[in-house]
Amino acid sequence: MKNIILIITLIGSSFLFINCKNEQKSTKSLTKEIAFKKEGELKLLRADSLLKSLDIEIAETEYETQTGLMYRHSMENNQAMLFIFKNEKPRSFYMKNTEFPLDIIYVNNKKEIVSIQKNAKPFDNSSLPSNAPVLYVLEINAGLSDKWGLVAGDIIEW
């Protein structure tokens, strides 16, 4: 009798396992897509030469600077987010809840690029420091700073 109950239990468990295995897992995002909101245009310059022109969304309130590009699925290559802070100091960003890789460009009060954190990984909580005091931070899609040849000393203007 024990053997029959054990066999029935095993057969029932295997049907349950097969049904669970065949269920489709949902890949829906838990957040509503946040649309890019163009608030200006930014130029990346070397001396007097234009390297690239971008549409920018500006983050300057406490909420905007804390949220940044979090919870967004992507950004076009001609778009960027510009963070504007009230004071110049060393800063550090991270990629918590950011779904796509970024290049994080740190800019001083003279609007000169001082450092670039390249290919920041999605959802990574690692600290990505500026390595110098900055007043602005520009986020673009990963790989674009290399593609455009951006280096420390280049200028932003908007």
CATH of the domain at 62: 2.60.120.1140
Domain contains 1: no
Domain contains 128: yes
Give the CA angle between residues 71, 74, 75 to the nearest 5°: 115
Rounded CA gap, 68 and 95, in Å?
10
Q: Which region, left, alpha or beta, applies to residue 106 given φ > 0 means left and ψ of -120 to 50 means alpha?
A: beta
- Domain extent at residue 113: 37-157
The pTM of this model reads 0.79
Q: Which residues pair with 129 in a beta bridge?
A: 92
Domain contains 13: no
Token pair for residue 107?
A: 């800019």
Question: Total structural domains in the chain?
Answer: 1
Domain contains 103: yes
CA contacts within 13 A on the Cβ side of 8: 5
pLDDT in tens, 76-127: 999 999 999 999 999 999 999 999 999 999 999 999 999 999 999 999 999 9
Domain contains 24: no
